[in-house]
Amino acid sequence: MTRYGFVFPGQGSQKVGMGQDILAEYPQCQPLFDTAKRILGRDLQEICFEGPKETLTETYNAQPGIFLISAAIHQILTENGRKASTMAGHSLGELSAYYAAGVFDIATAFQIIKERGEAMAKACPPGDSGMAAIMGMDLTKIYELLTPFKNAPVVAANINCPGQIVISGKKNGPLEAACASLKKNGAKVIPLNVSGAFHSPLMQTASDTLKEKIKDFSFNDAQVPIILNRLAVEEHESESLKENLPVQVISPVRWTKSIERLCQSVDEIIEIGPGRVLSGLIKKISPNTPVTPINNAESLQAFLEKG
């Protein structure tokens, strides 16, 4: 029997129209969309299906929207007997993995994602901080060149795959100076259109807020192990999973090591959710591991028919 590893994408994978064909083909997913509207107080279904892009891209819409589509696809996979032996998720996607592994129910999931998104949006004033993708430079060299900026702070935030690292930091000096240094030493630097320095110490207030907001929420042990972003090790115990969420927003996403760990225990990886960003990263991390993105009704049906 094939051992599947399910992975779930994070913010940046959103696309106007996402999930529309899924709901049309599998109307049993409608309660997920209805729960999103009830918990969030707005019609996330309409935002996902019709946009506009600027509205969907806002953190407080993008994060629950991506989760919603991932949850819908996972529901259909589960109904058809496709289950994972291990799971992981990139940043926001880690909450999708929590839900898929039975750590909390759908209403709790939307409540946590709502609190997380709002806390992250408030942590840094608009334009005060940001992120940049660093291409074509190894991690050791990046760490070396960021050393003068560690107190600014500017840090390696997403260790996505060999040759692709994302840094976070304060703008108006530190981040720009760090990018200039990296570029001078041969890296390709791409500023990212994000609203804050995610997965860095600048998210400390968001971490503190999230810890307080979720303290009374009920968590279950995970039904299958979840490889945590910040540690790249499996976890299933409910209290450890709960403690992880606030720390995750100030910690690096160690995606390369997480996927290396995942590949030790699975035969094939399935990316569940909009886009195919993670599939591209996984092919660079572990070229010999089969990876299949399921991001619409067509790819979902093809996977189910494969047997």
For residue range 198-235, list pLDDT tens digits in order. 999 999 999 999 999 999 999 999 999 999 999 999 99
List of domains in the chain: 4-123+202-306 (3.40.366.10), 129-195 (3.30.70.250)
Decide if pLDDT at 268 tops 90: yes
pTM: 0.97
Decide if pLDDT at 69 tops 80: yes
Number of CB atoms found within 10 A of residue 35's CB: 18
What angle in degrees, to the nearest 10, is found between the helix axes of 106-123 and 93-100? 160
**Amino acid, single-letter form, for residue 119:** A
How does the average pLDDT of the chain come out, rounded? 96
Mean pLDDT (whole number) for 263-267:
97
- Of 10-19, 54-63, 157-166, 219-228, the one with minimum mean pLDDT is 54-63
Mean pLDDT (whole number) for 63-87:
97
pLDDT of residue 126: 75
Edge-to-edge strands of the sheet including 154-161?
Answer: 154-161, 164-170, 129-135, 188-191
Q: Which two tokens stand for residue 197?
A: 């320095």
pLDDT of residue 297: 98
Decide if pLDDT at 307 tops 80: no
Number of CB atoms found within 10 A of residue 167's CB: 27
**How far is the C-alpha of 286 from the C-alpha of 296, rounded, in Å?**
24
Residue 266 parent element (H or E): none
Beta bridge partner(s), residue 167: 132, 156
Mean pLDDT (whole number) for 244-269:
98
Q: Which residues are catalytic?
A: 91, 199
**Residue whose pair of structure tokens reads 């009704």 in the numeric block:** 297
Beta bridge partner(s), residue 235: 226
Quick one: how far is CA 266 from the chain centroid?
A: 20
180 exposure class (CB count in 10 Å sphere: 0-12, 13-18, 19+):
exposed
How do residues 144-161 score in pLDDT, each as one tens digit? 999 999 999 999 999 999
CB 179 within 8 A of CB 210: no
